[in-house]
């Protein structure tokens, strides 16, 4: 089964740039989606198809995907961005979805 | 406005059966896949399975195949997740979510979650 690997935690100072990675075998050939989950809340889609932003998601959120790593980039980080972030792909070889283990973003 | 409204919290004993629901509105329920995601206490998201309400086609993660059943009643725009014999390890928050399209299978709208507690 396809495995997605995320760092457990990332810390960043307010106003700086946070980069959260999602590793997988040849992940660049797949479409990667990113979700933000704040404590006690349902997840929210923030990036889909590697780099598209749903309406209502700030331009500070962007994504890229190449080779064996996909990256969620959050520019000018704010305290309100503190949350858990999950990457997700569809594994077409086995016909099911997969989530990464999640990354806790801490704003210092 | 797309909405997914899930049934309320449940407290069950090991061995009991359970069926939780997710009612969709604001979109064509039969035209989009809808899925279920588990989140155990303090843990990450786990992809369980999806169903296409138009024809009840389903896909399961190998981790959940045979452990749960996903179904849908298109006449009332409702998807279900059911267990025939609960275990303590089924204690978790369960989310339903609508899929944007059947290419990347991205979850674009989520329900509020149903907390299932299994304890003797």
Q: Running along chain A, 108 residues long, what does each successive block of 10 average in pLDDT? A: 97 98 97 97 98 97 98 98 98 94 98
SS3 A78: coil
Q: Does B40 contact chain A (CB < 8 Å)?
A: no
Looking at the partner chain, which of B44, B100, B108 has a beta carbon nearest the beta carbon of A86? B44
Q: Does B64 contact chain A (CB < 8 Å)?
A: no
Strands A61-66, A18-23: pairing is unpaired
Looking at the partner chain, which of A45, A95, A96 has a beta carbon nearest the beta carbon of B108? A45
Output the average pLDDT for chain B. Answer: 97
A37 neighbourhood in chain B, CB within 8 Å: 45
On the question of pLDDT at B104 being above 90, the answer is: no
Please, is A63 exposed, middle or buried when counting C-beta atoms within 10 Å of its C-beta (0-12, 13-18, 19+)? buried
For A15-92, list the strands marked E by DSSP. 18-23, 33-37, 44-47, 61-66, 69-74, 83-91
Confidence of residue B113 (pLDDT cuts 50, 70, 90): very high
8 Å CB contact of A96 and B100 = no
Q: What are phi and psi of A58, to 5 degrees?
A: -60, 150
On the question of pLDDT at B103 being above 90, the answer is: no
On the question of pLDDT at B83 being above 90, the answer is: yes
Confidence of residue B55 (pLDDT cuts 50, 70, 90): very high
Rounded Cα distance between B117 and B120, Å, is: 10
Tell me: the pLDDT tens digits for B33-49?
A: 999 999 999 999 999 99
Q: Check if the beta carbon of residue B23 is closer than 8 Å to that of residue B112.
A: no
B45 neighbourhood in chain A, CB within 8 Å: 35, 37, 43, 86, 88, 99, 102
- Candidates B61, B106, B113: best to mutate against A (most CBs of A within 10 A) is B106
A44 neighbourhood in chain B, CB within 8 Å: 110
**Residue A49 region by backbone torsions, left for phi larger than 0, else alpha for psi between -120 and 50, else beta:** left
Confidence of residue B60 (pLDDT cuts 50, 70, 90): very high
8 Å CB contact of A86 and B47 = no
Q: Please state which of the four CATH numbers 2.60.40.10, 3.20.20.480, 3.40.50.300, 3.10.180.10 is assigned to the domain occupying A4-107.
A: 2.60.40.10
Q: Check if the beta carbon of residue B36 is closer than 8 Å to that of residue B58.
A: no
User: Where are the domains positioned within chain A?
Assistant: 4-107
Tell me: the pLDDT tens digits for B13-30?
A: 999 999 999 999 999 999
The nearest CA of chain B is from the CA of A97 a distance in Å of: 6
- Express as a percent the part of chain B with pLDDT over 90: 97
Rounded Cα distance between B96 and B37, Å, is: 6
Would you state the pLDDT for residue A84?
98
Q: Does B22 contact chain A (CB < 8 Å)?
A: no
Would you state the pLDDT for residue B101?
86
b/e per residue B18-30 (b: at least 16 CB within 10 A): bebbbbbeebebe
Looking at the partner chain, which of B59, B107, B113 has a beta carbon nearest the beta carbon of A95? B59
Rounded Cα distance between A93 and B50, Å, is: 16
Mapping DSSP onto H, E and C, the string for B20-82 reads EEEEEECCCHHHCCEEEEEECCCCCEEEEEEEECCCCEEEECCCCECCEEEEEEHHHCEEEEE
């Amino acid at each position: 089964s396809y495995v997605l690997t995320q760092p457990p935690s990332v810390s960043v100072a307010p106003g700086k740039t946070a980069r959260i990675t999602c590793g997988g075998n040849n992940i660049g050939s797949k479409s990667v989606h990113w979700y933000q989950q704040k404590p006690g809340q349902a997840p929210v889609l923030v990036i889909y198809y590697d780099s598209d932003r749903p309406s209502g998601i700030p331009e500070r959120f962007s994504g890229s995907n190449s080779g064996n790593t996909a990256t969620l980039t959050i520019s000018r980080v704010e305290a309100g961005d503190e949350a858990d972030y999950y990457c997700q792909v569809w594994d077409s070889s086995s016909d099911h979805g997969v989530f990464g283990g999640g990354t806790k973003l801490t704003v210092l | 406005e797309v909405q997914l409204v899930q049934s309320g919290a449940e407290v069950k004993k090991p061995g009991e059966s359970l069926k939780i629901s997710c009612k969709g509105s604001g979109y064509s329920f039969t035209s989009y896949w809808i899925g279920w995601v588990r989140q155990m206490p303090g843990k990450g998201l786990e992809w369980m399975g999806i169903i296409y309400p138009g024809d009840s086609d389903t896909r399961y993660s190998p981790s959940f195949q045979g452990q749960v059943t996903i179904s849908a009643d298109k006449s009332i725009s409702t998807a279900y997740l059911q267990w025939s014999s609960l275990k303590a390890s089924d204690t978790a928050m369960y989310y339903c979510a609508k899929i944007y399209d059947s290419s990347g299978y991205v979850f674009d709208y989520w329900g509020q979650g149903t907390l299932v507690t299994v304890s003797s």
